[in-house]
Chains A and B, each alone.
Chain A
Amino acid sequence: GAVVSQHPSRVICKSGTSVKIECRSLDFQATTMFWYRQFPKKSLMLMATSNEGSKATYEQGVEKDKFLINHASLTLSTLTVTSAHPEDSSFYICSAPRLAGVEQYFGPGTRLTVT
């Protein structure tokens, strides 16, 4: 069964509003989680590393003020897309390493559409 969940699976929002996406590890604790963005027919692009108890680490070119990440607990990380614009429309996926990184599991993804 799934070991990482995401909510919501799909969201449509209006331009200028903010959207929060949750990522949960279901049966293990994750001090680190990762957020990816995936464009159609493209591979995953790492956006940021979410760290429990400390600030997120963002990849080069990713606006930290636009993509707010909060690692609220050992099983929950949230990504908030602030003041969303149509170009933010994408498929967002989170992942969490398990067993000291031996395995890394991905959530089912969230399809964001900004109108």
Chain B
Amino acid sequence: EDQVTQSPEALRLQEGESSSLNCSYTVSGLRGLFWYRQDPGKGPEFLFTLYSAGEEKEKERLKATLTKKESFLHITAPKPEDSATYLCAVNSGGSNYKLTFGKGTLLTVNP
């Protein structure tokens, strides 16, 4: 059974204070690791898909990296508008694209 563990559960940063969120996973065979951002009362917003260890992707102040056991979402010089819940999910294959989600990290960036 696929398992995804995110840490920390909550993180408070000051504006400009860079940090990282962690996503540890256990799957039988990774087909893709997904990062999403979710604002309160809204559906998750797609950020990145990573496929193989060593892969990195960037978008504005966010950079996602992947190893064989975990993924990191690095946030550089965050702004208050980066405050949200960040969700990590894995797809372990099969003919469908079912995702297994972690519980998320609630990020709060104070001005």
A residues sitting closer than 8 Å to B (CB atoms) are 4, 6, 32, 34, 42-44, 46, 49, 91, 93, 95, 97, 101-109, 111
Contacts and interface: CB of A to CB of B under 8 A. Distances in A.
Interface residues of B, number: 22
Given A101-B32, A104-B34, A104-B46, A46 B99 contact: yes
Contacts of B41: 91, 109, 111
B36 to A, nearest CB: 7
B106 to A, nearest CB: 8
A101 B95 CA distance: 10
Nearest to A2: B43
Given A101-B32, A102-B32, A109 B43 contact: yes
A15 B78 CA distance: 45
Given A101-B32, A102-B32, A102-B49, A46 B43 contact: no
Tell me what chain A mostly uses at the interface: helix, strand, loop, or mixed: strand
Interface of B: 31-32, 34, 36, 41-46, 49, 87, 91, 96-104
Given A101-B91, A102-B32, A44 B44 contact: yes
